[in-house]
Chain A
Amino acid sequence: MPDIAAELVSQFIDFLRSFKNSESLSPELRKKISVRTNLHKMLIDVCGGGRTVLLTGSAGSGKTHLLHSIVSEIAPLGRVLNEPDNLQEKFVLVVEDATELTPADRIKFALTKDPRCLCKLMAINEGPLREAARAKGGEYFGAAIALLHDGQRGISKKYDPQKPVVIDMRAYDPLEEGLIEHLLGLDLLQEAIETECPDEDSPRRRAWEMLSHPEVRARVAAVARLAKLAQPEWLFRDVWDFVADLALGGSDDEEIPSSPWFWRLFFGDNLISRAIRSIADPMLHALPFVESRIWYGDWMSDQIRLLDGITIMPIAKPETDEAFIWAKLQCLLLASNYRFDEAALGSADERLVAAVAGANTGALIKQINEYVTFGLADSNETSLDLWVDHRLERRAQSHTGLIKLGSAPASEFSIRKSLVALNHPNKEAAALPGSHSFLVHDSTNSVFSLDSRRLAILERSRSTRIADRDQVDFQWDLYRFFDSILGKKASDNVFEIYQADIERSRCNLHRYAVSRRPPLLEAKA
């Protein structure tokens, strides 16, 4: 174990047990726990040319921490100052919290031109950003808001040096691969646990030993990513709360200890654990054969095959529900031939989630076509059919006829992610994906949000019940999406009438061509 100063460990424990706030960290501790992410490179790349860089995002999204942690890296470029001075050397201006400036000062800061200034970095919440945009001369901040709006819909535009570079921390996905694994493997975290829990045989310490296995840490991170199905956007603060709870939450003294990380992963007192349980309740995941072995306490059973080098913490008589789950969780997470995260995805919209994750536009389009036509028509993945619906009245059982006014080829669509770096000169950085997915029709910029709730609706078959408001609202929004595309893509002379007969599981499709001059309506094959 490396020699880590007790004072630093104590500070770290205070940090873990408190409201996570970058300002409260000493520079030394900040350096110890910093994780280098794509954001660092993105920010350092943009330092130069006198650019203004705005770091936006809510409290807890990591703006200040990011600014602090890159100061040492940009120091060789020039002095880091909070306001310009009379020195002749090059400098980087940094404002850690824009709320401390008046709107006029924010504008002045952004528009100041000084050949010695390499770059201006400002951490700013969206509130002060909009305040500055509304102030006199605030067009520069107005442009930043427009960039944010586009970025939140995955729309990137060509780099414009007249506009600020915006790093949208809210769009950044801190559950990205690598971050949680890294944090769980921090020596400082191990030291904190040892300090807080000196008994080597305590359940917390014994369980934490399992996390020295990189595969186990990777599995925890993969399970944590399930939380994105419940809510796409997570803050750095949420991740730290999660890690802190895994490490120090719960108690060793209960009959069924609540301190081991595998228990806290699902039953911890933090937002990510709650989200994981809402998406993938471990009680609902069966392990055939293994469960009966657990029940009888047959820990040596060859049914229970664990990752190499891992030993679980058996319970003598796992006869109560709680004890049984406590034992089963270890098998769910540590089995060599079973991945809980994959099984959970399998039961929750696997196909579409995978399609969205893999930007498989065709699969998504096919599913939308299938959904709209009640799954009764042949659907294809080469084009999205565009429908309108003339129903106005809320009736218990709605009419199942639809009108198709055109279609748009799948090649015109893309599944995009919200963007983290906006107006970034480096193309690679500008393409860094955020956490929210959209189906975008490229030529009309029409956007359809793809969150987990919507994907679940798409997976279900379409209902005609007006009381199913999830579906009614979803369809209303889908028709708005279709309409915005139809504004440019409607065929001007062919329409199709689709009638679904749900009781008999069949459908009729009639195709017609119309012309204005001469006025004529004809049936098409």
Chain B
Amino acid sequence: MTKLSGNRQFLGDAVPFLVGAYPNRVAPAHVFSGFLAAGLGSGPKAESISQFIRDASGTATPPDHLSNSIASDPIQLRNLAESLVTVLDPDRRVFASGVSSSPVPICPAIISKNPSDDRFGAQLGALCGIWRGDQFGAILEMYQEKYRDPLSTLGNVLNANHRPKLQDPQEEVVRKLLRSCGPLSRRYFEALADFVYATTTRRYGTLSAHLMSVARSVYFASFLAALRSPVFLAKKPKAWADVAPLFVYGARPPGNTRDPAARLAIRSYSFVISEVQHALGELLSERLAKSSGKVPKGLPRATRTMTWVKLAFPEIKQSVENELRDELKSVTELKNVRTRILNAVYPIDYLARAYRMIGRMLGIVGPDRGSGSPRFLLETPVLGILVESTLAQGEVLSFEEWVDRVYERFGIVIGFGREMDPQQLLKGLDRPGPLARAIKESQEALRLRLIMAGLAVEYSDGETEMVNMGNGHHA
């Protein structure tokens, strides 16, 4: 890997949800913080709270409104800092410097705006703001009205009278995406916005459970957006059959590679990632083609290509330029320039690794570690969010109808459902016979997992219905 891998100076201004150079930083806590900051602004206490809980020296400024017994006793202060780690930083995404920290946002004053999420949070915030204008109003309501548990009260104490103002998340790159992509893409992004909105407007028992659910749905939606936005921009597909099928392994993750369904999920992952790379290549070509006429004539061959590239990608910095120069060498033709840049900035193994890193943090891609080939999967907490957000509260839907719904909204294949065309789905993947069987087996395994998790009910006539009865209300 070079310094160029995932460098956002190339397409960062054109492609939203673009994976960056450090995908291991795009953690759920950061993306959620970025998302909230987009709609509620960053909080004035984020940095000081981060310093307090992470400062081992005990010299950081403690929060306001502490009782004398805590404020005047260094041991009590240290205990409090350690206790707040459990509340605000169980994922270890808060740092002593306070910069790039993302404490669990139990109140608006500690919402942190930082660059660690590669703008995934802000861009999803913009997307949700466009499709669901009330998204952040509902979040504010969640903070202010809904809950009366002790952590909600603690949030109130830490919030110290901070009154966030609703903001209109401005991400031009998202608006551009929605302007330039086709109807399938618009439906997709609307479905993602709905997905997040569904968890936001749902009722939970505590603020904690509500926050965690919204955070999961935000991260899940961001990942799905990241997986498809380059393709939507480059290809403008009209139907799901026009893009690489996203087949999710339905049995218990991560699955044995000897299992045909696991192999299918691995193959699907590799297809989807190749398609992303191809789409990024197309977008690079497009930019280069647009600038080719602007290159001054008569430039020496040695500098001509670099000038062209700088015109196409005006944001690239000197260090990147130097490295790119070595990569490009003497190529001058569009096709060759594009291929060299693509292989340097978005090599396939980098993309495969990057999406795996982001996806595994929540349990959408696995295996978690080791040399096993990456595949799409759904860990149970993610499955829970998928069910919660795709069914209205109290809605009853047959399992097959739900499989159709998940495909229709997100292009995720978890089975054949009732209306899907297996031949169409499997086009290009492999021989349809064994794969169709693998998908059916995976669908059955998923059905059993849903029943075990209380997310579906099986009836004696073999019918399975999805249920969304709320937490704990399941048999």
| Contact across chains for A476 and B380 when beta carbons are under 8 A apart | yes
**Chain A, 463-504, contact with B by CB distance < 8 Å: what is the 0/1 string?**
000110100110011011111111110111111011100000
Per the bound structure, the CA–CA distance linking A492 and B206 in Å amounts to 11
| Contact across chains for B91 and A472 when beta carbons are under 8 A apart | no
Most buried by B among A152, A402, A490: A490
A192 at the A/B interface (Cβ < 8 Å)? no
Most buried by B among A127, A391, A406: A391
Per the bound structure, the CA–CA distance linking A472 and B452 in Å amounts to 13
Per the bound structure, the CA–CA distance linking A149 and B212 in Å amounts to 28
A403 at the A/B interface (Cβ < 8 Å)? yes
**Chain B, 146-170, contact with A by CB distance < 8 Å: what is the 0/1 string?**
0011110110110010000000000
Q: A125-B461, A521-B66 are in contact. Are A495 and B151 (CB under 8 A)?
A: yes
**A289 nearest CB across to chain B (Å):** 43
**Chain B, 328-364, contact with A by CB distance < 8 Å: what is the 0/1 string?**
0000000000000000000000000000000011110
Q: A126-B461, A401-B85, A523-B76 are in contact. Are A392 and B212 (CB under 8 A)?
A: yes
Q: Note all chain B residues with C-beta closer than 8 A to A115.
A: none
| Contact across chains for B209 and A479 when beta carbons are under 8 A apart | yes
| Contact across chains for A393 and B28 when beta carbons are under 8 A apart | yes
B80 at the A/B interface (Cβ < 8 Å)? yes
Most buried by A among B79, B80, B83: B83
Per the bound structure, the CA–CA distance linking A524 and B148 in Å amounts to 20
| Contact across chains for A399 and B208 when beta carbons are under 8 A apart | no
B57 at the A/B interface (Cβ < 8 Å)? no
| Contact across chains for A481 and B463 when beta carbons are under 8 A apart | no
- Contact among B67, B80, B461 for A520, CB-based, below 8 A: B67
Q: A466-B368, A514-B153 are in contact. Are A393 and B91 (CB under 8 A)?
A: yes
Q: Note all chain B residues with C-beta closer than 8 A to A485.
A: 205, 472
| Contact across chains for B157 and A514 when beta carbons are under 8 A apart | yes
B308 at the A/B interface (Cβ < 8 Å)? no
Q: A445-B473, A477-B454, A516-B156 are in contact. Are A472 and B149 (CB under 8 A)?
A: no
Closest to A518 in B: B65
Closest to B363 in A: A394
| Contact across chains for A519 and B156 when beta carbons are under 8 A apart | yes
Per the bound structure, the CA–CA distance linking A467 and B369 in Å amounts to 10
- Contact among B219, B380, B384, B457 for A392, CB-based, below 8 A: B219
A260 at the A/B interface (Cβ < 8 Å)? no
- Contact among B149, B208, B252, B473 for A446, CB-based, below 8 A: B473
Stretch at the interface among A51-59, A103-111, A178-186, A205-213: A51-59
B104 at the A/B interface (Cβ < 8 Å)? yes
A14 at the A/B interface (Cβ < 8 Å)? no
| Contact across chains for A436 and B475 when beta carbons are under 8 A apart | yes
Per the bound structure, the CA–CA distance linking A510 and B355 in Å amounts to 39
| Contact across chains for A490 and B148 when beta carbons are under 8 A apart | yes
Residues of chain A in range 502-519 having any CB-CB distance to chain B below 8 Å: 508, 510, 512, 514-516, 518-519
Residues of chain B in range 190-219 having any CB-CB distance to chain A below 8 Å: 203-206, 208-209, 211-212, 215-216, 219
**B51 nearest CB across to chain A (Å):** 17
| Contact across chains for B380 and A472 when beta carbons are under 8 A apart | yes
- Contact among A449, A473, A483, A519 for B209, CB-based, below 8 A: A483
Closest to B203 in A: A487
Residues of chain A in range 364-390 having any CB-CB distance to chain B below 8 Å: 388-390
Q: A487-B204, A490-B150, A523-B67 are in contact. Are A392 and B463 (CB under 8 A)?
A: no
**Chain B, 171-189, contact with A by CB distance < 8 Å: what is the 0/1 string?**
0000000000000000000
**B357 nearest CB across to chain A (Å):** 11
Per the bound structure, the CA–CA distance linking A523 and B82 in Å amounts to 13
Q: Note all chain A residues with C-beta closer than 8 A to B453.
A: 473, 476-477
Closest to B28 in A: A392
Q: A388-B206, A390-B86 are in contact. Are A405 and B149 (CB under 8 A)?
A: yes
A522 at the A/B interface (Cβ < 8 Å)? yes
Closest to A495 in B: B150
- Contact among A149, A394, A438, A519 for B362, CB-based, below 8 A: A394
B137 at the A/B interface (Cβ < 8 Å)? no
Per the bound structure, the CA–CA distance linking A419 and B216 in Å amounts to 36
| Contact across chains for B86 and A476 when beta carbons are under 8 A apart | no
A61 at the A/B interface (Cβ < 8 Å)? yes
A448 at the A/B interface (Cβ < 8 Å)? yes
Per the bound structure, the CA–CA distance linking A128 and B208 in Å amounts to 41
**Chain B, 244-271, contact with A by CB distance < 8 Å: what is the 0/1 string?**
0000000011000000000000000000
**B408 nearest CB across to chain A (Å):** 22
Q: Note all chain A residues with C-beta closer than 8 A to B219.
A: 392
Q: Note all chain A residues with C-beta closer than 8 A to B474.
A: 153, 447, 449
| Contact across chains for B368 and A394 when beta carbons are under 8 A apart | yes
Per the bound structure, the CA–CA distance linking A441 and B76 in Å amounts to 36
B27 at the A/B interface (Cβ < 8 Å)? yes
Per the bound structure, the CA–CA distance linking A58 and B86 in Å amounts to 48
Size of the A side of the interface (Cβ < 8 Å), in residues, is 77
Per the bound structure, the CA–CA distance linking A405 and B369 in Å amounts to 34
Q: Note all chain A residues with C-beta closer than 8 A to B27.
A: 393
**A285 nearest CB across to chain B (Å):** 29
| Contact across chains for A392 and B362 when beta carbons are under 8 A apart | yes
- Contact among B65, B91, B459 for A127, CB-based, below 8 A: B459
Per the bound structure, the CA–CA distance linking A66 and B263 in Å amounts to 48
Per the bound structure, the CA–CA distance linking A106 and B18 in Å amounts to 57
Q: Note all chain A residues with C-beta closer than 8 A to B379.
A: 394, 469, 472
| Contact across chains for A58 and B461 when beta carbons are under 8 A apart | yes
**A508 nearest CB across to chain B (Å):** 8
Most buried by B among A472, A480, A485, A522: A480
- Contact among A58, A473, A479 for B460, CB-based, below 8 A: A58
Residues of chain B in range 1-60 having any CB-CB distance to chain A below 8 Å: 27-29, 32
B470 at the A/B interface (Cβ < 8 Å)? yes
Q: Note all chain B residues with C-beta closer than 8 A to A273.
A: none
Most buried by B among A401, A436, A485, A515: A401
B434 at the A/B interface (Cβ < 8 Å)? no
**B467 nearest CB across to chain A (Å):** 9
- Contact among A394, A481, A490, A498 for B472, CB-based, below 8 A: A481
Q: A483-B206, A490-B149 are in contact. Are A476 and B384 (CB under 8 A)?
A: yes
**B468 nearest CB across to chain A (Å):** 12
Q: A390-B208, A495-B154, A520-B157 are in contact. Are A473 and B380 (CB under 8 A)?
A: yes
A225 at the A/B interface (Cβ < 8 Å)? no
A339 at the A/B interface (Cβ < 8 Å)? no
Most buried by A among B32, B153, B361, B459: B153
- Contact among A482, A495, A523 for B69, CB-based, below 8 A: A523
**A498 nearest CB across to chain B (Å):** 8
B428 at the A/B interface (Cβ < 8 Å)? no
**A477 nearest CB across to chain B (Å):** 7
Per the bound structure, the CA–CA distance linking A240 and B252 in Å amounts to 33
Residues of chain A in range 114-152 having any CB-CB distance to chain B below 8 Å: 125-128, 130, 149, 152
Per the bound structure, the CA–CA distance linking A163 and B279 in Å amounts to 60
Q: A392-B29, A494-B150 are in contact. Are A521 and B67 (CB under 8 A)?
A: yes
A452 at the A/B interface (Cβ < 8 Å)? no
**A11 nearest CB across to chain B (Å):** 28
Q: A476-B380, A480-B472, A521-B157 are in contact. Are A390 and B149 (CB under 8 A)?
A: no
Per the bound structure, the CA–CA distance linking A128 and B129 in Å amounts to 44
| Contact across chains for B460 and A499 when beta carbons are under 8 A apart | no
Q: A393-B361, A492-B148, A516-B153 are in contact. List 8 more A-B contacts (CB 8 A).
A: A392-B28, A393-B29, A394-B360, A446-B473, A483-B472, A499-B82, A519-B157, A521-B65
9 pairs, A vs B, C-beta closer than 8 Å: A126-B459, A391-B91, A467-B368, A486-B206, A508-B79, A510-B82, A514-B157, A521-B63, A522-B67
Q: B residues within 8 Å of A by Cβ?
A: 27-29, 32, 63-67, 69-70, 76, 79-80, 82-83, 85-88, 90-93, 104, 148-151, 153-154, 156-157, 160, 203-206, 208-209, 211-212, 215-216, 219, 252-253, 360-363, 368-369, 379-381, 384, 452-454, 457, 459-463, 470-475
Ranked 6 nearest A-B pairs via Cβ: A58-B460, A484-B472, A401-B86, A127-B461, A487-B205, A522-B67
